Amino acid sequence: MDYSRRAILGAMGGLAVGGSLAAMSGTVIAAPAAPAMSGGKNGHFAQMGGEFGWTPKKIDDIAAASAVAYQGYWYKGYGCGYGVFYSIIGTMAEKYGAPYNTFPFTMMEGFKGGMSDWGTICGALAGAAMAFAVFYPRKEVTPMVNELFRWYEQTAFPIYKPGDAAQGVKGDLPTSVSHSVLCHISVSRWSFATKLAANSKERSERCGRITADVSRKAIEILNAKIEAGKDWKGALSKQESVTGCTTCHGKEKMADIQKGNMDCTPCHSGSEAVADKFHNHP
């Protein structure tokens, strides 16, 4: 089945011409049959090619793809989620065409600023997780996401250096470790450490470079997954705080009020700036 843009646009053009001819002649012309859908149940949830029907392709030139991610961050202001997602799926689209080039890439703009400036999940991470999920179901995606997110929590950003291609601020930028996958904490910690405002050009440049950093790591993970298949496992273990807190908190534990794998300390360190959950803790 040809799902390329050319075929789809051709079919749409045929509908338009057919409709005009029908109006002129007074006859009824049946519309072309829609592409076969599969994977649905009771008429719901079907999709072309079936669920996880696209085949992932290795990206050999990771440096070039990460540069595309950086450019994508700045492209029309679409941001980090768009940049990372396009650097993966868009790179496949540019090299292989359909079906990768049929994705509406601009929908990834919704991840900008931690989901439309709400400061939740870092959009770069969300873009990568969505790219993984294009190809793999949850059981296989989860280890990939875990590896990427744990790496993000403990890495000093930004790493990427665009040189003269910098679109915000040229030169080196100060770094910081976020200990969190949340945009709000990642930006706030960096701004506090560097004394640079969250709405500054330097901060925008930082996020553009982090988009490239996340792209590089995500592609490394994807390439390794393609090579190893279902046997692939990440190298990073659970964060110390998560291991400790989940001995009591979590599913089937004495206090089943916690869900997730984020580093607990940024929000529960007991400091004056955050919720004091360690003070007089049982």
Q: Mark whether 203 and 67 lie in a shared domain.
A: yes
Assess if residue 240 is contained within a domain.
Answer: no
**Element housing 40 (H / E):** none
Assess if residue 272 is contained within a domain.
Answer: no
Q: Mark whether 115 and 178 lie in a shared domain.
A: yes
pLDDT tens digits for range 44-96: 888 888 899 999 999 999 999 999 999 999 999 999 999 999 999 999 999 99
**Element housing 28 (H / E):** none
Q: Mark whether 81 and 192 lie in a shared domain.
A: yes
Q: What's the rounded mean pLDDT across residues 132-151?
A: 96
Domain carrying residue 114: 62-231
Counted domains in the chain: 2
Q: Mark whether 136 and 185 lie in a shared domain.
A: yes
Q: Mark whether 204 and 109 lie in a shared domain.
A: yes
pLDDT at 145 exceeding the cut of 90: yes
pLDDT at 100 exceeding the cut of 50: yes
Question: Taking the model in full, what pTM does it have?
Answer: 0.81
Assess if residue 276 is contained within a domain.
Answer: no
Q: Mark whether 30 and 71 lie in a shared domain.
A: no
pLDDT tens digits for range 187-231: 999 999 999 999 999 999 999 999 999 999 999 999 999 999 998
Among 185, 211, 231, the domain-final residue is: 231
pLDDT tier at 279, thresholds 50, 70, 90: low
Assess if residue 123 is contained within a domain.
Answer: yes
Upstream peptide bond of 99 is cis (omega within 30 degrees of 0): yes
* Measured CA distances, 134 to 14, 59, 65, 128, 137 (Å): 30, 15, 18, 10, 8
Q: Mark whether 67 and 35 lie in a shared domain.
A: no
Residues 238, 239, 245, 251, CA torsion sign:
negative
pLDDT at 12 exceeding the cut of 60: no
pLDDT at 239 exceeding the cut of 80: no
Q: Which residue has the tokens 């990440």?
A: 234
Q: Mark whether 18 and 68 lie in a shared domain.
A: no
pLDDT at 177 exceeding the cut of 60: yes
262: left (phi over 0), alpha (psi -120 to 50) or beta: beta
CA 125 to chain centre: 5
Assess if residue 184 is contained within a domain.
Answer: yes
Contact 114, 91 (CB under 8 A): no
The beta strand positions in 126-264, using DSSP E, are 156-157, 176-177
Q: Mark whether 226 and 188 lie in a shared domain.
A: yes
Q: Mark whether 152 and 15 lie in a shared domain.
A: no
Q: Mark whether 214 and 124 lie in a shared domain.
A: yes
Assess if residue 96 is contained within a domain.
Answer: yes
Q: Are strands 156-157 and 176-177 parallel, antiparallel or unpaired?
A: antiparallel
Give me the chain's average pLDDT, please: 85
Assess if residue 196 is contained within a domain.
Answer: yes
Q: Mark whether 19 and 156 lie in a shared domain.
A: no
Residues 227, 83, 110, 96, CA torsion sign:
negative
Q: What are phi and psi of 121, to 5 degrees?
A: -60, 135
Assess if residue 249 is contained within a domain.
Answer: no
